[in-house]
Chain A
Amino acid sequence: MDQELELDLISKSVKGDSQAFRCLVESHQRLAYSIAFKFTRDEGESEDITQEAFIKLWKNISHYKEEFRFKTWLSKIVTNLCLDYLKSARRKSKSDEKLSEEMMQTDRLEMKLEADELRDIVYKLAEQLTVKQKAVFILRDLETMEPDEVCQILQMSYGSMKSNLYYARLKVKESLQKYYNS
């Protein structure tokens, strides 16, 4: 979306124009859903997180600062909600269900196309990372965000971001090598 148009929509939303906010929702909801899905790997949870993120955004739209990109601000809200979800009991009960479901689906997985299969493998690998490593890996490598943007979203130093990225890429590379060698 054009930066000028985006700012215009934001200023209208600040004044309570819900139609202007609708335009912002329509143009950014895919990004919010995409980040949420990479964290949760659950359609329902991703939709809930996307909804929550936009409601938070609507309530706090008057606090928006022009020096930040709207996309970065939204990503930060979504990421924080995802991190809360990962810490919650709701996620623990769901991941146990998912594990047994995935074991049953192993045969079907083999039938899938290679790209889909690889995607599932990488997402599963991300599950094994620590929360910080996972967040850095998703935002930097899967959402291809700029390093400074990732630091802003996760409120961490450049050094800390590089360190978490190192461990995440090390684990992903080793897992992919194991997959290809087997």
Chain B
Amino acid sequence: MNCRDFEKNIYVYPELTEKEKAGIDNHIKSCDQCAKLFRDLQQAQFIVKQIAEYEISPPNDARLTSAIMSRITQPSEPTWLDLVTQFFQNQRLRIALSIASSVLVFFFLFESSHKFIQPKNDMRETSESVILNATAFRQAASKRRNIQQPFAGCRSPFKSNQFFLECAKTKLLKSKSLKSTL
């Protein structure tokens, strides 16, 4: 190593390894120029060290702390994502939503069970209506039978319609003549 290499290392003497420091210590014993540079630099570093020891502090510590803390505690403009997150993180809202969902589930179950029973009623109504219809049918049939009774002997599956009409005419005439005699 020559003086130029040592010179560069003298400036960063505190940052060198022990081995590198020992190399410089040996060199400056035999080189006046490097020894002078080493002393000058030590002096300059001493001045810088004195300046470093001078404490620099803010004009008003308490005011600076308050300014920082007020900016931290001050709520910032929330984004839509923050609003959604806050909305679902709200404890009261979560309780309210769970109550509402429970009510809805209960209502749904109640409605379902109500609908399940409903067919039974429908069935009862249907059966009643069937009974009613049967009665009506019976009444209609007996009425029809009463009307058709005078012509009862005229109906025959082995005779034609013409026979029925002839038979019915004669029976009607008979009944008319009977009414007139009475």
Contact = CB atoms under 8 A, between A and B. Distances in A.
Given A118-B51, A141-B52, A142-B52, A166 B64 contact: no
B47 A30 contact: no
B32 interface: no
A143 B52 contact: yes
B12 A172 contact: no
B90 interface: no
A122 interface: yes
A166 B41 CA distance: 11
B12 A165 contact: yes
Interface residues on B, range: 20 to 34
Of B49, B57, B64, most buried by chain A (CB within 10 Å of CB) is B64
Contacts of B50: 115, 118
Interface string A135-175: 00000011110010000000000100110011001101100
Nearest to B53: A144
A58 interface: yes
Interface string A6-22: 00000000000010011
Interface stretch (B65-73, B106-114, B131-139, B140-148): B65-73
Given A29-B61, A118-B50, A176-B44, A166 B11 contact: yes
B71 A55 contact: yes
Given A166-B12, A172-B44, A176-B44, A18 B56 contact: no
A18 B64 contact: no
A76 interface: no
B116 interface: no
Given A26-B65, A33-B57, A122-B51, A169 B44 contact: yes
Given A33-B56, A34-B57, A54 B12 contact: no
Nearest to A19: B69
Given A25-B69, A55-B71, A143-B52, A33 B11 contact: no
B45 interface: yes
B55 interface: yes
A158 B12 CA distance: 11
Contact of A122 (B12, B47, B71, B73): B47
B128 to A, nearest CB: 70
Interface string B13-33: 001000000000000000000
Contacts of B51: 115, 118-119, 122, 142
A115 B54 contact: yes
B41 A173 contact: yes
Given A51-B64, A115-B50, A173 B69 contact: no
A34 B58 CA distance: 8
B68 A51 contact: yes
21 contacts: A18-B69, A18-B73, A21-B69, A25-B68, A25-B69, A29-B58, A29-B61, A29-B68, A30-B56, A33-B56, A51-B68, A55-B71, A55-B72, A115-B54, A122-B48, A141-B45, A142-B48, A143-B52, A169-B41, A173-B11, A173-B40
Interface of B: 8, 11-12, 15, 40-41, 44-45, 47-52, 54-59, 61, 64-65, 67-69, 71-73
Given A141-B49, A169-B12, 17 more contacts: A22-B65, A25-B68, A30-B61, A47-B67, A50-B68, A51-B64, A51-B68, A55-B71, A115-B54, A122-B48, A141-B48, A142-B51, A142-B52, A169-B41, A173-B40, A173-B44, A176-B47
